[in-house]
């Protein structure tokens, strides 16, 4: 899998969903959040359905992706 370079300031809910799918994660729907899981069904994190996410929220979500094996470089 190739490295993904992600700018935290430019992330939205849709951007994080695209990143999750590129990393091989599966998304599920909730009422106010997307629920991201690994292929084997382990829960990873949730992504709030907002057009703009704060830097701290984005960074936390990306760290969870990295913890579960995503090859991401945060900038």
pLDDT digits over 2-49, tens only? 788 888 887 899 999 999 999 999 998 888 999 999 989 899 999 999
Q: What is the CATH classification number for the domain harbouring 21?
A: 3.30.920.30
Q: Where are the beta strands (DSSP E) in 1-75?
A: 4-6, 26-29, 33-37, 43-48, 72-74
* pLDDT attached to residue 4: 86
Q: What is the pTM of this model?
A: 0.90
Structural domain boundaries enclosing 56: 4-74
Q: Which residues contact 67 (CB under 8 A, 6 or more apart)?
A: none
Give the separation between CA 44 and CA 38, rounded to whole angstroms: 7
Give the separation between CA 38 and CA 55, rounded to whole angstroms: 23
Domain count, the chain: 1
């Amino acid at each position: 899998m190739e490295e993904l370079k992600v700018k935290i300031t430019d992330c939205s809910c849709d951007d994080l969903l695209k990143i999750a799918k590129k990393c091989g994660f599966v998304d599920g729907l909730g009422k106010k959040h997307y629920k991201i899981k690994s292929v084997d069904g382990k829960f990873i994190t949730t992504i709030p359905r907002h057009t703009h996410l704060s830097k701290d929220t984005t960074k936390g979500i990306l760290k969870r992706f990295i913890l579960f094996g995503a090859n991401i470089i945060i900038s």
